Amino acid sequence: MKTLIVFCSVALVAGSCARLQACQREPTSNRSEGLTGRWVGEYRMGGQTTFLSIQLSRKDGQWTGTCLRPTLDWSSELRVVKIGSENSLEFAMSGPDGPLVVKGTSSAKEIRGAIGEKGRSGDIVLVRTADLHREYLDGLAGDYEFPDGGLIVFARENAFLCFLDHRSGRTGRLMPESPVDFWTGPSLGIWYPKAIGFHFLSDSGGNVTGVEIAEGQRKEHARKVQRYQEQNVEIRSGPVVLSGSLKLPPQPIPRPAVLLLAGSNSQTKGGQNGLLGLVGDQFARHGFAVLSYDKRGSGNSGGKRDDDYELLSGDGAAAIGFLRNRPEIDRARIGIWGISQGGQLAPIVASKARRIAFLINVSGSVVNSNQQEIERTELQLRADGFSEQDIADAVHLQQLKFQYACKRDNWDQYKSALDAAKGKKWLPDPYIGPPETQQHSAWDFWKCGVEPALYWESVHVPVLYVYGEHEAYSKPEVNFARFERAMMVAQNNSYTLKRIAGAEHSMTKAKNGGEKELPWTNTYAAEFYPLMTSWASRALQTK
């Protein structure tokens, strides 16, 4: 199942930084070397403002770069033309009518200049972000309480901190300006201009004590509170060692527990947008031990990155085994929570681990995974305003693509449809991004797909199945119907189907859930977080 792109990562400094101290790169004597790293900002041209993030790096005297414009395209390459000794620089990136050329000057904190293409011109500003250790960001993560009892939670997503204000549901990524000063932009995918500032506080020993938050003229202070302990752990899955995090609340031993399964692609223990960290915090504050881990080949986990369901479900089963061997955990009260691909994997993990207490599936399809991809294409194109003819053509190409993946009997028909689609805006990722050769490795990955519903047919424990009102990765009505048939086979009446009003695939508020809208989302649906823990607590009472 596809997800939003994982944004450009930032190069890290080696070493340890467990307390609130400076964890940036050492200053360099060559001023141009100071341009390496991540810059975020915007350019204005032709009456339109476009957010962008760029990453500059230098190796063996050669400059390279990448550019991300989430409202226009996925990550693309920058062509670095010149880095001058007098703080001047020039680079080019793709534009609708040819290369967009940027010429500007840099200071320690900003790049400003002009941008232009074929008779059009405008201005650009980019702001430098600090490079901080991941383990340092882990030291800032956790719960912070406002004087009125409200809570704001910080969780790490790879090289970013993300936050959730439980009072409003507001969420976002934090851009580091210094080790103690951060800002967030208007939304999860748009990080500039600066919308909210965060200043972390510490005591004389360098221990984090609180955070000051400034939004416009309004300023607030929240003190850091410890609602649970968190341990770094290692999980062995065959020859692979997975790096994980175990949250342990202060409830009496043995505690109930929940394993969190991330969505597709490379994800660390905090999950995309910090969602696993935020969900884990919700469970831990309500008495559950919580385990999550860097997916294989990601973060600090070993192995090669692979979205093979057999391997990933084996990793999940190994994580369940890890929990059962911990003295703090009640072996009879371990559940599984999964989102997207993690929701697809949940019943497969349960079939391997056995004796699971409950399952929560958030936005995970139960139909054949290849069918789900066809559904995703139709739903996302319609949400993003494509014509019905475009949708029909794209769905037809997807059907031919997966027919070839499964049966290998229609290459000429598929290739003809692919050639006819060249130049269509719906062809590239994130909509289809199809292979163009018979030798592409994707064919062996897709094959005939995986049908999670076949595994749900053997699930006899309580299940919560959650979809958003504006789900655009698979059709809720089709998946709910197939799930209910699976429950009939299993003779399991202990299940709950739930549509979250106003929510999209990842449970943020949306209007249609399309790819064009997702970068602008910034608030979680109000009922999502309390629903999970209240339902899981009731499910365990029945055991």
Cα–Cα distance measured from residue 284 to residue 59, given in angstroms and rounded to the nearest whole number? 43
Cα–Cα distance measured from residue 88 to residue 317, given in angstroms and rounded to the nearest whole number? 54
Report the pLDDT averaged over residues 500-517: 97
Residues 6+ apart with CB under 8 A from 196: 172, 183, 184, 213, 214, 215
Contact 173, 70 (CB under 8 A): no
Q: What is the DSSP code (8-state) at residue 431?
A: T
Neighbours of 159 (CB within 10 A): 20
3-state helix, strand, coil in the chain (%, to 5): 25, 35, 40
Give yes or no for residue 133 having a pLDDT over 70. yes
Residue 12: pLDDT band with limits 50, 70, 90: very low
The share of the chain scoring above pLDDT 70, in percent, equals: 94
Per residue in 69-114, pLDDT (tens digit) is 999 877 788 999 888 777 899 999 988 778 899 999 998 899 999 9
Cα–Cα distance measured from residue 317 to residue 324, given in angstroms and rounded to the nearest whole number? 11
How many secondary structure helices (H) and strands (E) does the chain include?
11, 24
Per residue in 332-369, pLDDT (tens digit) is 999 999 999 999 999 999 999 999 999 999 999 999 99
Residue 28: pLDDT band with limits 50, 70, 90: very low
Q: What tokens were used for 462? A: 């309580």
pLDDT at 536: 98
Domain boundaries, the chain: 33-128, 134-225, 229-366+451-541, 369-446
Cα–Cα distance measured from residue 246 to residue 266, given in angstroms and rounded to the nearest whole number? 20
pLDDT at 119: 81
Burial of 6 (0-12, 13-18, 19+ CB in 10 A): middle
Q: Which stretches of 25-172 are DSSP H helices? A: 134-140
Q: What is the DSSP code (8-state) at residue 388?
A: H
Cα–Cα distance measured from residue 228 to residue 281, given in angstroms and rounded to the nearest whole number? 9
255: left (phi over 0), alpha (psi -120 to 50) or beta: beta
Q: Which CATH architecture has domain 33-128?
A: Beta Barrel (2.40)
Q: What tokens were used for 139? A: 């030291």
Rounded to 5 degrees, what angle do the CA atoms 157, 158, 161 make?
45
Give yes or no for residue 514 having a pLDDT over 50. yes
Per residue in 192-251, pLDDT (tens digit) is 999 999 999 999 999 999 999 999 999 999 999 999 999 999 999 999 999 999 999 998
Distances (CA, A) of 319 to 233, 324, 336: 11, 9, 10
Collapsed DSSP state (helix, strand, coil) of residue 308: coil
Q: Which of 460, 482, 471 is nearest to 539 (CA)?
A: 460
Contact 133, 12 (CB under 8 A): yes
Cα–Cα distance measured from residue 260 to residue 353, given in angstroms and rounded to the nearest whole number? 14
Q: Name which of 28-32, 40-44, 484-488 the model is least confident about.
A: 28-32
Number of residues assigned to the chain: 543
Give yes or no for residue 532 having a pLDDT over 70. yes
Give yes or no for residue 139 having a pLDDT over 80. yes
Per residue in 434-457, pLDDT (tens digit) is 999 999 999 999 999 999 999 999
Report the pLDDT averaged over residues 113-118: 92
pLDDT at 13: 28
Collapsed DSSP state (helix, strand, coil) of residue 191: coil
Burial of 85 (0-12, 13-18, 19+ CB in 10 A): exposed
**Antiparallel, parallel or unpaired: β 463-468 and 358-362:** parallel
Structure pTM?
0.92
Q: Tell me the CB-side half-sphere exposure of residue 78, using CA atoms within 13 A.
A: 26
Give yes or no for residue 5 having a pLDDT over 70. no
Cα–Cα distance measured from residue 30 to residue 132, given in angstroms and rounded to the nearest whole number? 21
Distances (CA, A) of 212 to 123, 145, 204: 33, 11, 17
- The fold of the 134-225 domain, in CATH, is Lipocalin (2.40.128)
Give yes or no for residue 15 having a pLDDT over 70. no
Residues 6+ apart with CB under 8 A from 444: none
pLDDT at 81: 86
Q: Tell me the CB-side half-sphere exposure of residue 234, using CA atoms within 13 A.
A: 8
Residue 543: pLDDT band with limits 50, 70, 90: low
pLDDT at 74: 72
Letter string b/e over residues 444-468, b meaning 16 or more CB atoms within 10 A of that residue's CB: eebeebbbbbebbbebebbbbbbbb
Q: What tokens were used for 266? A: 């490379």
Cα–Cα distance measured from residue 206 to residue 199, given in angstroms and rounded to the nearest whole number? 14
Give yes or no for residue 1 having a pLDDT over 90. no
CATH 3.40.50.1820 fits 229-366+451-541, yes or no: yes
Q: Which run of H or of E encompasses 307? A: none
Give yes or no for residue 458 having a pLDDT over 60. yes
Domains 33-128 and 134-225 share a fold: yes
Cα–Cα distance measured from residue 465 to residue 439, given in angstroms and rounded to the nearest whole number? 38
The share of the chain scoring above pLDDT 90, in percent, equals: 85
Q: Which run of H or of E encompasses 342? A: helix 341-353
